Structure 1
Amino acid sequence: MSIQESWKIGVLFSTSGVTSIIEQSQLNGTLLAIDEINAAGGVRGRSIEPISYNPDSVVSCYGEMAERLIVDDKITALFGCYMSSSRKEVLPVVERRNALFFYPTLYEGFEYSPNVIYGGATPNQNSVPLANYLMGAFGKRIFFVGSDYIYPRESNRVMRNVLRQGGGEVIGERYYGFDVDEEGFAEVAREIVEMKPDAIFSTVVGQMCIDFYRAYHAAGGDGRICPIASLTTNEAEIAAIGPEAAVGHITAAPYFRNISSPANRKFLKAYNAKFGSVRDVTSCCEAAYSQMHLFATALEEVGEMDADRLHEALLGATFDAPQGQIKIDPDNNHTYLQSRIARVDEQGEFIIENKLRRAIKPDPYLVYPKIHDWNFRTQKVKQFPV
């Protein structure tokens, strides 16, 4: 297959900067899917060719590079972004240029664009189940800590409302800029240990996440007693934090690396063969991988890089993803996803403790769900030795 015959797509994931620890894994998932598609003959006999730029985790660069991909590189399908602030930079560009944008990251909800396919969890798929779990297993006094940008503030607004439905309360709330390190988190870590909440809800992202968990541990915080619960802390960050500081902490996500299924084993085997390790495989990586496969199926059906026709073909499309079957909801461009809650064991591995029996319909505007809507298949919460 010659380069001239290839299907060109745009890729915007940072391989440097504060969010690169996650975006590198999303890039890897994207590239692995492209390899698989091309090895199977491509799409209608033509390979997929990624044109990739590195925004360096600088928010303004995402919009600028999206414009370059569409205008200069003549690309109509883009894959990228981790932070909501970077998505917000790309959004007006793809709408103005009528390009299709695949966003493979959980987010705060309350958005819809006909030009975006949302592949990550919405609040009803992770915030609501996590709040229910925390109040049932630990208690109703929750302390919020977040990075200072759109996603944490909006996610905390949603979580606060969900907690109130269940009789919970927020006893503290702090936000920090991306320049804060472990030492910068020391004061709030000591404050949390003194206040003794039942749990902490963290929307701290990237390298800051690693520094916050370490600061909490250094201040005497113990996840086996008062866990940090998150929607964003995943395997790559837990590995960087280390088992001693990570044990007992909790994450809600559609995917965890240790899911036992043929699709996940196949995915991990291929990932390891390409990148030499599965250490950085995360739910965001899995979402990026799955979105590329969904795109290829739609492109096979349509046979052209027309954003409107591809969008129509994607609505209702399904894929047997590593997490289980997923489906793009024709009502809102978001994705039916699994819901799981896991806790870190003494070896630094996530152990899944709760999961729903079915994929959850995305409800980005939280129109329908209430705190007690979810019928969990619940395993007993593991008692961690102190």
Structure 2
Amino acid sequence: MLFKGCHNDIPMGNEETIPPKENIIKVGILHSLSGTMAISETAVVEAELLAIKEINRNGGVLGKQIEAIIEDGASDWLTFRDKARKLIDKDQVVTVFGCWTSASRQAVLPVFEAKNHMLWYPVQYEGQECSRNIFYTGATPNQQIEPAVKWLLQNKGDEFFLVGSDYIFPRTANLIIKQQLDALGGKTVGENYLPLGNIGVGSIISKIQATLPHGGIIFNSLNGDSNVAFFKQIHAAGLGADKYPVMSVSIAEEEVRQMGVEYLRGHYAAWNYFQTVETPENIKFVDSFKAEYGADRVTNDPMESAYVMVYLWKQAVEKAGSEMDLEAIRVSAIGQQFNAPHGMVTMHPNHHISKTVRIGQVRDDGLFDIVYSSDTSVAPIPWNRFVPETQNYRCDWTDPHKGGKYEV
């Protein structure tokens, strides 16, 4: 594996013979390997490195080997911005795979747009964005949040308490949820936020008990270490999954493994991929990841999206015939398909991919029983239909007259 930069003791396997510079393609990897978001982002880096190792082993891209330059965003948005500039200007990478939180993505977005560069972003997010410089392989709200709310209304009740970290993704997600509940006959009984990384969840637990004395749904968009305190304290308070089911959109197998299954057993998460998806591609993905990083490790949705985006980038580069011609790569990326571990994905003209929607329930071994799966792959809708200001917006980078974002 070819790599440079910060790697935070991520096991890489045996380093291979480094080819001449003219036979190397340099890419950037930019995630939090320290701070509150490291609990989630470290495994995403591992998945990206796994894809790069596989591609290199099979001949590379355009006959060249990929060199990954890894930088630590350190859960700090200004650091993300500075590292993005460093990767583009100093390291001269041809693309960057990176970010988790919307705060980090929005911190680097002006950098990629000003320098007309390219970011591949692997995590579900709130939508309400459309950049020609970003390809998004995580879920849009209609591929995660909206179907989760609909499933809960049909199966678990109609009273929702919303809890999230205090930054753009949870606040926008909860705006969408409230609008959706109003439209579908549900009720928002409470809404609380914590600064990212804050563990002072006691007052939120008290408010949940006061507003939902006999039980109800907790919709959770906390990120990072705050989730550890939250689930441990709702467990200690006796708010079991039978009466207080928690639906999370940023908790997956890796977080369950690190936090302890005893605190999450019976609760739910909405994603597109779970390790328990039964496809030949997923069996291969899980086996490869465990062989590289340890038999006790798990895979999850952001890791799968990160793994997939490296392959989609590879295919776009090969179709363009150049790793340097970013405009040609942008055009070539549209329509790219990949038989991902969770199912076939297609890159749409709005720079997002189609995805199968799934809801899982945490079981005794820390993996998820899949309790719902969409019948077909769901097309991405970045501009949300439940938000009046944006419900008529569309995004299409194949039509130069529309300039990306436009109103129908």
- Whether these two folds match at TM > 0.5 is yes
The Cα shift of 1:326 comes to 0.6
Q: 2:344 aligns with which of 302, 325, 337?
A: 325
The Cα shift of 1:128 comes to 1.2
The reply on whether 1:101 has 2:119 as its aligned counterpart is yes
- When the two structures are aligned, how many residues end up with a matched partner? 367
Task: Return 346-355 or 155-164, whichever deviates more.
Answer: 346-355
Contact 1:243–1:347 (Cα < 8 Å) also in 2: yes
Query: Residue deviations 1:213-272, cap 9 Å, x none?
Result: 111111111012211101111111112232222112111100001111100000011101
The Cα shift of 1:368 comes to 8.7
The reply on whether 1:112 has 2:143 as its aligned counterpart is no
Q: Which amino acid aligns with 2:325?
A: D
Q: 1:128 aligns with which of 146, 161, 168?
A: 146
* TM-score (normalised: structure 2): 0.87
Unaligned runs of 5+ in 1: 370-386
In structure 1, the residue matched to 2:95 is: 77
The Cα shift of 1:134 comes to 0.7
In structure 1, the residue matched to 2:211 is: 195
The reply on whether 1:316 has 2:326 as its aligned counterpart is no
Query: d(CA) in 1 for partners of 2:344 and 2:271?
Result: 15
The reply on whether 1:31 has 2:49 as its aligned counterpart is yes
Unaligned runs of 5+ in 2: 1-18, 388-408
* TM-score (normalised: structure 1): 0.92
Q: Which amino acid aligns with 2:338?
A: F
**Residues 179 and 36 of structure 1, relative CA distance in 2, 3 Å threshold:** closer
Query: Residue deviations 1:346-382, cap 9 Å, x none?
Result: 333211000111110000112499xxxxxxxxxxxxx
Task: Tell me the secondary structure at the aligned position of residue 240 of structure 2.
Answer: coil
Task: Tell me the secondary structure at the aligned position of residue 171 of structure 2.
Answer: helix
Query: Residue deviations 1:162-200, cap 9 Å, x none?
Result: 11111011101111113422xx11222133134324200
Query: d(CA) in 2 for partners of 1:368 and 1:142?
Result: 17
Q: Which amino acid aligns with 1:286?
A: E
Q: 1:299 aligns with which of 317, 323, 338?
A: 317
Task: Return 58-67 or 343-352, whichever deviates more.
Answer: 343-352
Contact 1:271–1:278 (Cα < 8 Å) also in 2: no
Task: Tell me the secondary structure at the aligned position of residue 182 of structure 2.
Answer: helix
In structure 2, the residue matched to 1:68 is: 86
Q: Could you list the runs of 4 or more consecutive aligned residues of structure 1 that deviate by over 3 angstroms after TM superposition?
A: none
In structure 1, the residue matched to 2:304 is: 286
The reply on whether 1:253 has 2:253 as its aligned counterpart is no
Q: How does 1:1-386 map to 2 (within 5 A)?
A: 1-181=19-199, 184-196=200-212, 197-277=215-295, 279-304=297-322, 305-330=324-349, 332-367=350-385
The Cα shift of 1:9 comes to 0.7
**Residues 190 and 240 of structure 1, relative CA distance in 2, 3 Å threshold:** farther
Cα RMSD, aligned residues only: 1.6
Task: Tell me the secondary structure at the aligned position of residue 10 of structure 1.
Answer: strand
Task: Tell me the secondary structure at the aligned position of residue 68 of structure 2.
Answer: strand
Query: d(CA) in 2 for partners of 1:240 and 1:163?
Result: 32
Task: Tell me the secondary structure at the aligned position of residue 358 of structure 1.
Answer: coil
Query: d(CA) in 2 for partners of 1:306 and 1:322?
Result: 29
Q: Which amino acid aligns with 1:200?
A: I
**Sequence identity of aligned pairs in percent?**
34
**Residues 59 and 202 of structure 1, relative CA distance in 2, 3 Å threshold:** same
